[in-house]
Amino acid sequence: MRMRPTLSWTPAAAADLLPGTTDLEPVVDALSTGGVLVLSGAGISTESGIPDYRGEGGSLSRHTPMTYQDFTGSAHARRRYWARSHLGWRTFGRARPNAGHLAVAALARDTRVSGVITQNVDGLHQAAGSEDVVELHGSLDRVVCLSCRVISPRRELARRLEAENPGFDPVAAGINPDGDADLTDAQVGDFRVVPCADCGGVLKPDVVFFGEAVPPQRVEHCRRLVRESTALLVLGSSLTVMSGLRFVRQASQEGKPVLIVNRDPTRGDPHARTRVALPLGTALTTVADRLGIPVGGPTD
């Protein structure tokens, strides 16, 4: 079953939106008892230099993400995608965890956070030291063959693409949250795509494209994490797409508090107790400090 891509939403009424607050006490109170599950979105990685989709200056204002249907149905679309993604991968590879990622990892080490479900594909939660991370939409550091289903490291594909496209180094207008660089068709040119090294099939990043369903076993694993949690803390997500919103609805139906830290209104506001409109790095570092939890690097 394929989901229709949802790129935006419009609240039915002003009553559906929570007014943004700067009061972090509800978040501190929830974390003080432990067992809080984190659901993160692109907004937590903006301070690492990776833009989000829908915030101020978000990539959707200039960029339509690749859909599963386009990728599988068109060799031209795949060439365009891999040229742009090959260039964008270099930027993703240089990104480092920011204060928000580090605070989540510190809260998890102190058992205040029970786990992390992330909608991001950048691997920054793990780089910060978080261990129990479910990558809801997969990760850009892996590649899967659509024929034989073999999974291989992205760095191997990067080496093969470099060899097939020597000197490919156009200047991109920007980088998007899915690792896709903004290039014109002229810049893409005759970029050469490589097949699966094992069977010659079509290679795809091991991520869930827009219009593609999240694997059901992954969804069920996340639902279990919600059931076992004491509260759900949403960080940097507009919750526009159902893949993340479903867990907010589940937590609300189970009577568990939903707390959101996001500057802009979200589709999950009707189910939340509060929405804190503060920068995530500042907010989460402050929360950890109030709980007496030091925030350091992943090896501290």
Do residues 122 and 135 touch, judged by C-beta distance below 8 A? no
Is 236 annotated in a binding site? The answer is yes
Beta strand 231-235 with 258-261 is: parallel
The answer to whether the beta carbons of residues 57 and 264 sit under 8 Å apart is: no
- Report which of 101, 154, 106 is spatially closest to residue 126, judged by C-alpha positions: 101
d(CA 287, CA 127): 21
Is 176 annotated as belonging to a binding site?
Answer: no
199 carries a ligand binding annotation? yes
211 is in an annotated binding site: no
Residue 56 marked ligand-binding: yes
167 annotated to a ligand binding site: no
Q: Are 264 and 80 in contact (CB under 8 A)?
A: no
Taking the C-alpha atoms of residue 300 and residue 294, their distance in angstroms, rounded to an integer, is 10
Q: Annotation-wise, does 131 bind a ligand?
A: no
Residue 41 is assigned to a ligand binding site: yes
91 among annotated binding-site residues: no
Query: Does 270 show up as a binding residue in the annotation?
Result: no
Alpha carbon distance 186, 197 (integer Å): 28
Annotated ligand binding at 269? The verdict is no
Was 222 annotated as part of a binding site? no
The answer to whether 11 touches 239, Cβ cutoff 8 Å, is no
Active-site residue identified among 76, 137, 221, 271: 137
Query: How far, in Å, are 151, 190, 270, 273, 283 from residue 79 at the CA level?
Result: 20, 8, 41, 45, 41
154 and 117 Cβ atoms separated by less than 8 Å = no
Q: Given strand 203-207, what is the order of strands in its sheet?
A: 151-153, 138-145, 203-207
Q: How far apart are CA 164 and CA 223, in angstroms?
A: 43
- Is residue 52 part of an annotated ligand binding site? yes
- Cα gap 198→157, rounded to integer Å: 12
Q: Please, are residues 42 and 100 in contact by the beta-carbon 8 Å criterion?
A: no
Q: Is 179 annotated as a binding residue?
A: no
219 is in an annotated binding site: no
Q: Tell me whether residue 137 is one of the annotated catalytic residues.
A: yes
45 is in an annotated binding site: yes
Cβ neighbours, 10 Å, residue 178: 26
Find out whether 121 is annotated in a ligand binding site: yes
Enumerate the known binding-site residues: 41-61, 119-122, 145, 148, 196, 199, 236-238, 280
Q: Which residues are annotated as a binding site for Zn(2+)?
A: 145, 148, 196, 199
Q: Which residues are part of the catalytic machinery?
A: 137
Give the residue numbers of the binding site for NAD(+): 41-61, 119-122, 236-238, 280
